Chains A and B, each alone.
Chain A
Amino acid sequence: MRKTALVFWTTLFGVMGSYAQNKQLLYDFYEIPQALMLNPGMRTPYDKHFGIPLLSGFSLQAGTSGVTVNDLFANDGIDFTTKVRENVVNGLRRNDEFGGSGQIELFTMGFRSRNRPSDYFSFGMYGEGFIAQYWPRDLAILTFEGNANNLDRRFSLNHIATQGEAVNVFHFGINRELNRNWTVGARAKLYSSVFEFKSASNQGYFVTTMGEDNILRNTLVADVRLRTSGVQEIIDILEEDANTTQADLTRTLLSRSFLGGNLGVGFDIGFTHSFGRNSFITASLLDVGFIYHGNAIKNYTLRGAASNEGVEIILPEDLNDFNSEIWQELVNDIEAQVPFDTNEDAFVTLRPFKVNASFRYNFGAPRSRVQNCECGVNMTSRTDNLGYKSAVGGQFFMIHRARGPQVALTGFYQHRFGNILAVKTTYTVDKYTFSNIGLGINLQAGPVNFYVLADNLMGYTNIPDSNYASLQFGFNIISWNSN
């Protein structure tokens, strides 16, 4: 039972998705070096930075749309099956989803060019994964109710949509301050896919109608595909009957993480443009790329069409050549008409690209110790480089998903308390919640930088009733650009 429950809840809540890849608190929070990963054209007030290995960037995000843990598991005395039927089976729509994502930076470094101080280079490696499951509404209803009382209702196979992956990313970025008004950047990425699975753009339906000859007619029209790479290899290891499972799994995961799996390339680009001293617009395009899956592939397909009205005996045709195995013949016919096949065909997956943009207005800027002399990009103090005491603005986020783009809008307020503490608060609206208030804190103690960012704080008043939660934190060593 525990295994069943684990599978159920892993499916329902463990798969909390890529929408969570919106990192609105971190975006343009340029005291934090990891913000460079969201906009390679961000302002970079550092001379160099060094992330504490494994601790420089850690994020976990999870969310659901349409239902919360509390909706189902509140100790309210209501029959659980009734709650599932009302809140999940009948309550969720096909575009509702569950998902989660996580990212851990293995190492990151950055340094300013000695020959060309307007250039800031950064590189590193991080692992990330996400899993997203759209709610298969029609299939859930079919599973919960059956077809007997749903005559003529088409249960769409298009509702099947799921995606997940784990990938290790090696990256190298260049950030260049072109002049006082423009900073641009680009980052090249090499992806090493550990595993990936995806099922989307499925077509077909199952329907039960009144039969033409017999009482009922069941019809299945299917064009369903699930593509996987690396998954079967991991399953085989987990199922092996040996004492070396853990060692084998570790070896496989490490190998696939470090270029032994399927590889891909991509890039990020971005810019920051200032209007005068206090207004800025920024934008970035992230993860434009692909992964070619050529090894450890197992794809599943269900394609074809079949109708069934049961076994048929029609006289006089069946008088002389009656086949007593007509049941098995019927089963064989259906399996031939709608074959469930596997193959090992290579495939390419595009990365789920993301777009960030923002407008920012700084005010209450600390008095500059160096006047604006228009004399060079590196002629500012550290305080000038941070360049604000308070800031307000708005942000836009979009991610390309299996069912089209998803967007989020954010308003933010940011404030610095001297050179030690900076706080950013956000209010974000997306398809999951209209009440997402986030808070990010960045602490700078000498060269040591620590940040923690948490989303949807209103949800913390009753965590199980929250649709969304995220947490990011990290440690860095920063040397500020004080030229």
Chain B
Amino acid sequence: MKKLFLYLWIVGLLISCADEQDFDQFDDLSVEPTVASSVFYFEADEGTINFAGSGAFYQETFTFEAFNEAFISENILDGVITYQLENTTSKPLAVLVEFLDAGGNVLDSESFVIQPEPSPLLERQVAYGDGGRSLDILRNTTNIRVEGQNLGDATSQSSQSEPRIILRSSAAFRIRLR
């Protein structure tokens, strides 16, 4: 009898159970982190601006291939670029940021005008992707051109210590990993 009981127990173990599983669910896995980094930082002191006189005091184009890196350009879903402009000089200033493709064509631009100090921090967010500007702008950007313009005089001096204009920028992109 004991052996019979043991035998039945073993058989019972062998006929084990499993809840229904659906391994195709893996196809539905979505991994979409939002990655953030500073993009570029531009700073010019008031002495440099005065030295250049009125009008453009700086214009330069530099390569910037972070956006069109294959990993980003192929997987980006949407994103926001944040700009912060700070002016502690005594004159109104304008800054133009342009995104260029490999042929030098302007794909997108952002212009800022900021009043002399004391002026509040100017912050602007530009959305790309769903509801915003085309993601192709970012995908095709290989160069950035930055231009600074003095909209005031070339002699005045701010009473602030180390007067300057600062443009900060960062990007936060939602990337589809899966």
The answer to whether residues A464 and B21 also contact, given A216-B36, A312-B41 and a CB cut-off of 8 A, is: yes
In this assembly, does B18 line the interface, its C-beta being within 8 Å of a C-beta of chain A? yes
- Asked if B21 contacts A73 (CB within 8 A), the reply is yes
Q: Which residue of B lies closest to A78 (CB)?
A: B25
Whether the pair A148, B63 counts as a contact (CB closer than 8 A) is no
What interface size band does chain A fall in?
35 or more
User: B42 contacts A313, CB within 8 Å?
Assistant: yes
Whether A215 pairs with B43 at a CB distance below 8 angstroms is: no
Question: A215 to B27, Cβ gap below 8 A?
Answer: no
A465 cross-chain contacts in B, Cβ below 8 A:
19
- List residues 452-481 of chain A with CB under 8 A from any CB of chain B: 454, 457, 460-465
- Contact between chains at B65 and A146 (CB < 8 Å): no
Bound-complex Cα distance A4 to B31 (A): 13
> Is B175's CB within 8 Å of the partner chain A?
yes
The CA of A9 and the CA of B29, in the complex, are separated in Å by 13
Does A1 interact with chain B (Cβ within 8 Å)?
A: yes
Which residue on chain A has the smallest CB distance to residue B30? A81
CB of B74 within 8 Å of the partner chain: no
Segment at the A interface, from B44-52, B131-139, B150-158? B44-52
Contacts of B29 in A (CB 8 A): 80-81, 84
Q: Are A216 and B45 in contact (CB under 8 A)?
A: no
Nearest chain-B residue to A5 (Cβ)? B26
Count B-side interface residues using an 8 Å CB cutoff.
55
> Does A242 reach chain B (CB closer than 8 Å)?
no
Contact A145 B34, CB 8 Å, known A325-B63, A463-B16, A464-B19: yes
Q: Which residues of the other chain, B, contact A74 by a CB distance below 8 angstroms?
A: 19-22
Residues from chain A with a CB closer than 8 A to the CB of B23 are 73
Contacts of B16 in A (CB 8 A): 460-461, 463
Q: Say whether B39 contacts A310, CB under 8 Å.
A: yes
How far is B40's CA from A79's CA once the two chains are assembled, in angstroms? 39
A314–B47 CA distance with the chains assembled, in angstroms: 13
Residue contact A308 to B38, C-beta cutoff 8 Å:
yes
With beta carbons under 8 angstroms apart, the residue of B35, B62, B175, B177 that contacts A325 is: B62
Contacts of A439 in B (CB 8 A): 10, 13
Contact of B63 among A213, A326, A457 (CB under 8 A): A326
Query: Which positions 307-339 of chain A face chain B at CB distance < 8 Å?
Result: 308-316, 318-319, 322-328
- CB-defined contacts of B169 to chain A, threshold 8 Å: 214-215, 310
B41 touches A213 (CB 8 A): yes
A464 to B16, CA, bound (A): 11
Which listed residue (A70, A208, A328, A454) contacts B36, Cβ 8 A? Answer: A208
Of chain A, the residue at the smallest CB distance from B36 is: A148
Of B34, B82, B146, chain A has the most CB atoms within 10 Å of the CB of B34
A136 CB to nearest chain B CB (Å): 14
A19 to B65, CA, bound (A): 47
* A84 proximity list for chain B (CB < 8 A): 29
Q: Verify if B140 is at the interface (C-beta below 8 Å from A).
A: no
Check B37 for interface membership: any CB of A closer than 8 A.
Answer: yes
Instruction: Write out the residue numbers on chain B whose beta carbons fall within 8 Å of the beta carbon of A464.
Output: 18-19, 21
- Smallest distance from the beta carbon of B25 to chain A beta carbons, Å? 4
**Cα separation A439 to B6 with both chains bound (whole Å):** 11
Q: Is the CB of A215 within 8 A of B28?
A: no
B45 A316 Cβ-Cβ under 8 A: yes
Q: Distance (Å) between the CB of B96 and the closest chain A CB?
A: 14
Q: Is the interface of A mostly helix, strand, loop or mixed?
A: mixed
| B34 & A148 in contact (Cβ 8 Å cutoff) | yes
* In the complex, A340 has a CB within 8 A of chain B: no
Whether B94 is near chain A, meaning CB under 8 Å from some CB there, is: no
Q: How far is it, in angstroms, between the C-alpha of A146 and the C-alpha of B35 when the chains are bound?
A: 5
**Interface assignment of B64: CB less than 8 Å from any CB of chain A:** yes
Give the contacting residue for A75; candidates B21, B39, B47, B62; CB below 8 A.
B21
The reply to whether the CB of B72 lies closer than 8 angstroms to some CB of chain A is no
Q: Which residues of the partner chain B approach A309 to less than 8 Å between Cβ atoms? A: 38, 41
Contacting residue for A311 out of B20, B25, B26, B39, CB 8 A: B39
| Chain B residue at minimal CB-CB distance from A322 | B60
- B2 nearest in chain A by CB position: A417
Q: Complex Cα distance A74/B66, Å? A: 41
CB proximity of B71 to chain A, nearest CB, Å = 13
Q: A324-B60, A327-B64, A423-B6 are in contact. Are A145 and B33 (CB under 8 A)?
A: yes
Hey, which chain A residues are within 8 Å of B146, CB to CB?
313
Tell yes or no: B84 within 8 A of A by CB: yes
CB pair B37 A310 closer than 8 Å: yes
Chain B stretch 58-86: residues in CB contact (< 8 A) with chain A: 58, 60-66, 82, 84
Residues of B within 8 A of A146 (CB): 33-36, 174-175
* Residue numbers in B under 8 Å from A314 (CB-CB): 41-44
Interface centre among A9, A149, A328, A460 (most CB of B within 10 A): A460
Q: Is A294 an interface residue (CB 8 A)?
A: no
Which of A4, A72, A214, A325 sits near B41, CB closer than 8 Å? A214
Cross-chain pairs A/B with CB under 8 angstroms, 11 sampled: A5-B26, A75-B22, A143-B31, A145-B33, A145-B34, A146-B34, A147-B33, A309-B41, A315-B45, A460-B17, A461-B17
Closest 10 CB pairs of A and B: A146-B33, A310-B38, A460-B16, A148-B36, A214-B38, A215-B170, A148-B34, A315-B44, A80-B25, A146-B34
Q: Spell out B's residues near A (CB within 8 Å).
A: 2-3, 6, 10, 13, 16-23, 25-31, 33-45, 47-48, 51, 58, 60-66, 82, 84, 146, 168-170, 172, 174-175, 177-178
